[in-house]
Structure 1
Amino acid sequence: MATKYLKKLLFFFLLMLFSSAGIAQEQPNIVFYITDDQSQRDAGIYGAEVVETPNMDRLAARGMTFNRAFIASPACAPSRAALLTGLMPARNGAEANHTYPDPDIPLLTEKLQENGYEVIAFGKVAHGPMNEKSNFDYYEPVPKRGDLSGKVEEYLEENPSDSPRLILVGDHRPHVLWTEKMEYDPENVDLPDYFIDTGETREHRARYYTDISGMDRELGEVMDLAQDRFGDNLLFLFSSDHGGQWPFAKWNLYEAGIKVPVIAAWPGHIEEGSRTNAMVSWIDIFPTLLDLTGGSIPGDLDGRSFAPVLKGETDSHRDHIFTTHSGDGKFNVYPIRSVRTDRYKYILNLLPDHYHSNHSDINRYDGAGEYWHSWEKAAKENPEAEAIYNKYFERPKEEFYDLQEDPTEQNNLIDSGQHQEIISDLRERLQQWMEEQGDRKLIYNAPYPACGPKPTRAMINE
C-alpha cells in the first residue's frame, strides 16, 4: 500500500514538474525599445505627415497601437523611475529631474528576475547613475547614435541562455543635441499651430525629425534581430519617456509633453494591426509584463496591468490619468499637476505668479534651443508671435481644456459657465489624489517671479 502511494506521489510530482517546465517555456522573451524625448504625434502611425517612421509603422502592423498612452512626469529621471517602480513620483521619491527613487523601493525588473527572467539593458534605460544601480543582470551604456543593435547581437551571441530574457534598449534619440544632418527640407517640415514659424525653428525641426528617422532605422534592426533570435516567442514593446524638448511639450503637462507612443506586438496573443483608446500610464507597463509572464504583482503599486486590453478582452483601462511635474534644477522651477479624462483636462500651476521657463529657452544651443533668439525677435515685431511668446512664460493658476474640441489645448475654458460642474469635479479629484499620494507640493530651487527678469543662462550661472 505504501509503495503504491509513493508511486502516485511520484507521478503527481513529475506531472507538476513537467507542467512547470511547460509554463516556463511559454514565457515570452521581451524586448522593450525606449526612445528619449519623442512626442506621440511625431510618428507615422499616429498621423505624422512629414517625419517618416516605417519601422514603428511596421511594428504597429504586427500588434496593438495605444492612442491614449501617457507618462507619469515629463522629465527623464522621474518618468523612468515611475516606469521601473510602478509608483508615481511623490511615492517613489523621484520628483524633480536628476532625482532617484528611495533606495528601499524595489524595482519591478527584480520581480521578473524572481520569475526566471534574465534582465539585460543597453543605452539609456533608467537615468544617469540609476542604470548602474538597477540590479540588471547586465548593463552596457551606449553613446547617442551608437550601435545598439550590434551591442544586443554581440551579447546574445556571447551569452547563450535557456532563461527567458527581458532586453531593455534605450535609444538617446531624439534628445538634444539634435544631429547637424538634415534629411528633411526645413521648408517642408510641419510645425504645431502654437509655434512661432521662423527659419531657425524649421531647421531645428528638420534636425529633430532626422534623429527620429535615425532612431527608427535602429529600431528596425533590433526588431529584425529579435525576430531572428526568438521567432514568435517574442513580446516587443515600444514607447518614449515623454514629449520632445520643444515649447509646450517636455516639462509641461500639455498633450505634447505627456502623451507618448506605445506599441506592443506578440504573435498569436495580440491582434495584428489593432488599435485601442484605452487610457494607460507608464506606471502600468511593468505590472502588465508581470501579469503576462505569470509573475506576482505587488499590491501597493499605483500601476496596474492592462493585459486584458492587449488580449482584446476590453477597450478601457483607466478613467483618469494623473501627471505631475516638479522641476529640473535651476532651469525649471515651475511645479504643475494635472488630471485628464477621455475628453477633458484640468491643470493646476502651483506658481502662477512666476515665470514658466526651462532648458529650451535658457540653453539656446545649436541643436537645441538656439531658435529661441528668432522667437524673441518675432515677438517684438508681430502681435501673434508676441501672444505665443507670452503664453509660454506666463500661465494662469488653473487651466481647463476640452480635448475633443481643442486637441492642442489653445482655448482655456476655466471660466466657462457651462463647464463649471466638470471643472469642480476634476479640481476635487486632483486634490484628493495629491493627498492620497502624499504630495507635499515641494518647490525645488528658487522660482523666478513674473515681476522680475526672465531667467537666463547668466543668471543661473551666478
Structure 2
Amino acid sequence: MKRFTGILVIACFLLSKVPLFAQQGQPNIIVYLSDDLGYLDTSPYGAKVVETPILEQLSKEGMKFNNAFVATPSCAPSRAALLTGLLPARNGAETNHSYPKEGIPYLIKNFKESGYKVYAFGKVAHYGGNDKCGFDYHLDQQVNLERNIRHFFDSVKVEGPVCLFVGDRRPHVAWTKQMDYSPDEVDLPPYFVDTKPTREHRSRYYTDITGLDSEMGKVLDYLTPIFGENTLTLFTSDHGAQWPFGKWNLYDAGIRTPLIVKWPGVIQAGAESDAKVSWIDILPTLLDISGSEIPKGLDGQSFKRVLEGKQTHFRDEIYTTHSGDGKFNIYPIRSVRTDQYKLIWNLVPDAYHTNHSDILRKDGAGAYWDSWDQKALKDLKAAAIIKKYYERPEWEFYDLKTDPDEQKNLMDDPEYQKEIVKLKKRLTKWLDKQNDELKTYREPYKIGQPKPNSKTIQNIK
C-alpha cells in the first residue's frame, strides 16, 4: 500500500509538470492580432529602423507569408470577415463600426463544437460586437499580461484544448507621445511629405510597434509552458497603418498584412511562402487544423497544405473592398490584385478622398497634415502628393513588379490594355457573385466644394 501511494505521488508530480491541455491531440491555438500595422513596418518584413525582436524570432521558428491580404482596410469589417470567413458584401459588415447581419454565424462556435475553449483578450471582435461573437470569454480591455491574461489563466481552471485570440490596439492612433527612435533617422515612404512633425509622428508610431512586440513576447513566454509544444501561434494585423494611402485605401499599404505562423513539428522553421492568402482564409485553416467542421459556402478556404509545405500556390487573385467610415471617410473602392497587377475602381471619382487623419488632425494621429499643407505652398512635389491623396481617377492600374509603391497609373498605357480588360471582367464577375450593391452610404464630399474639416464636419449628422 505504501509502495502504491509512493507511485501515485510520483505520478501526480510528473503530471503537474506536463503542460496544461497536453493530453489533447488537437493543438492549442494562439491568434495574436495587431491593429493598424503596416506590413513593411516590422523587421521580418524588411524594416531597417523599427525593432521587433519577438516577431523576428517567430519568423525564424515559423513560416512568413509574403502575400497575405485583408478583406477590407478598416477595423470592424476586417475583423467581421476574419471571424465569419465571409467577405463584407456577404456578411453585411461593409462600413466601419458595423457588424454582420443577423443570422450570419461566427466561426467561433465551430471550434467550441469540437471541444475547444475559445477566449479573447483585447481588441479582437470590434468592441465585442454581436454579443461577443460566441467567445467563451471576451475582455475588450487593452491586452496586458499582468493585468488580464495572467490573472485569468492563474484563476480559472481550463479543460480541453484552447483557441486564444489576443488583440493589441497598437499601433492604432493615438500614438504614444514617447519617441524611442530619433525622428531624424526614421524612414518615410516616397509618397510622404518629409517634414519635422511627420518624422516625430513616425517615431511615435514606431515606438508603439516596438511596445506591441515587447508585450507579445511577455504573453508568449507566459503561455508557452502552460500550452505546451503542440501549439500553433499566428500573428497578423487587421490592415495597414493610419497614414496617407494606407488604412481606408486599397493600395498594398492598406490591404497587405504581415502573417507569420509557427507550429513546431509541422511548419518548417524559417520557411517563407509567396502564396496569396486572405484574412477570410485564416479561420477555415485553423478549423481544418483543429479537426473542426468547416461550414459550406464560405468565401474563405483552408491553406493548411501551404503551412505543411505541400502546396506553394493558393489564390489566383485577391479581391478587396472598402465602403466608408461614418462621416469622415465616404469613398467606396473595389479592387482585384494578381501577382503582378492591381486594378482599383474608385466608385465616386468626382468626390474627395478624405478621412479622420486629414480632417481631425489630432496629436498622435494626423496633426502632421498642417505641415504638409504649409510645405505644399512652395514645394511642387508636396503639392502633387496632396492632390493625389484627395483627387483620384475612376480607374487605377499598376504593374506591381516595376512599381510596388503604386505611383504610376498605367490605365491609358496601350501596352497594358489586354490585362486591364481581363481584370475588369474578373472584378465585375466577382462583384456579381458577391451580390455587391456598390453602395455609397453617405453623400460624398464633391470636388470643387470646400474640403471637410474638424469644424464643418461636426454639423453633419
1:117 equivalent in alignment to 2:116: yes
Partner of 2:11: none
- The number of residues matched between the two structures is 439
Check if 1:134 corresponds to 2:156: no
Distance, in Å, in 2 between the alignment partners of 1:109 and 1:205 is 36
What displacement does 1:370 show?
A: 0.2
After TM superposition, give the deviation of residue 99 of structure 1 in Å.
0.7
For 2:268, what is the secondary structure of its paired residue? coil
1:147 equivalent in structure 2: 144
Q: Secondary structure at the match of 1:278?
A: coil
Deviation per CA, 1:381-425: give whole Å up to 9, x if none: 100000001000000000000111100000111111111001001
- When residues 444 and 354 of structure 1 are mapped into structure 2, their CA distance, relative to the original with a 3 A threshold, is same
Structure-1 residue corresponding to 2:32: 33
- 1:365-384 to structure 2, matched below 5 A, reads 365-384=362-381
Partner of 1:60: 59
Please give the alpha-carbon distance, in whole angstroms, between the structure 2 residues aligned to 1:138 and 1:330: 33
Q: Offset of 1:161 from its aligned partner?
A: 2.2
- Quote the Cα distance in structure 2 between the aligned partners of 1:228 and 1:192: 41
Please report how far the alpha carbon of residue 352 of structure 1 lies from its aligned counterpart in structure 2 after TM superposition: 0.4
Q: What is the rounded CA distance, in whole Å, between the counterparts of 2:352 and 2:139 in structure 1?
A: 39
SS at match of 2:220: helix
- Residue in 1 aligned with 2:9? none
| Aligned AA (1:194) | Y
Matches of 1:431 and 1:259, distance apart in 2 = 22
2:103 counterpart letter in structure 1 = D
Cα deviation for residue 261 of structure 1 reads 0.5
1:36-71, Cα deviation, whole Å (9 max, x unpaired)? 000100010000010110000111111000000000
Distance apart, 1:160 and its partner CA: 2.2
Aligned-partner SS, 2:274: strand
The match for 1:178 is 175
Compute the RMSD of aligned alpha carbons: 1.3
Q: In the superposition, relative to structure 1, how do residues 24 and 352 fare at CA in structure 2: closer, same or farther (>3 Å)?
A: farther
How far did 1:451 drift? 1.6
Conserved? CA contact 1:33–1:170, under 8 Å: yes
Shift of 1:117: 0.4
**Contact 2:345–2:395 (8 Å) recurs in 1:** yes
Q: Aligned match of 1:311 in 293, 308, 327?
A: 308
Matched, 1:433 2:445: no
Contact 2:72 2:255 in 1 (8 A): yes
Would you say the 8 A contact 1:132–1:139 is kept in 2?
Answer: no
- Determine whether 1:48 maps to 2:54: no
- In structure 2, the residue matched to 1:387 is 384
Shift of 1:453: 1.0
Q: Residue type matched to 2:117 in 1?
A: E
- The alpha-carbon deviation at position 226 of structure 1 amounts to 2.0
The question of whether the paired residues in 1 share the 8 Å contact of 2:128 and 2:140 is answered with no
Deviates more, 1:322-331 or 1:446-455: 446-455
| Structure 1 ranges of 4+ moved more than 6 A | none
Query: Structure 1: any 5+ residue segments left out of the alignment?
Result: 1-21
Task: Give the CA deviation at 1:142.
Answer: 1.7
Q: Any conservation in 1 of the 2:79–2:126 contact (CA below 8 Å)?
A: yes
Quote how far apart the aligned CAs of 1:147 are. 1.7
Give 1:357's aligned residue. 354
In structure 2, what is the equivalent of residue 457 of structure 1? 454
Percent of residue pairs identical: 55
Residue 148 of structure 1: CA displacement?
A: 3.8
Question: Do structure 1's residue 78 and structure 2's residue 77 form an aligned pair?
Answer: yes
Which of 191, 198, 206 is the equivalent residue of 1:209? Answer: 206
Q: Which residue of structure 1 aligns with residue 337 of structure 2?
A: 340
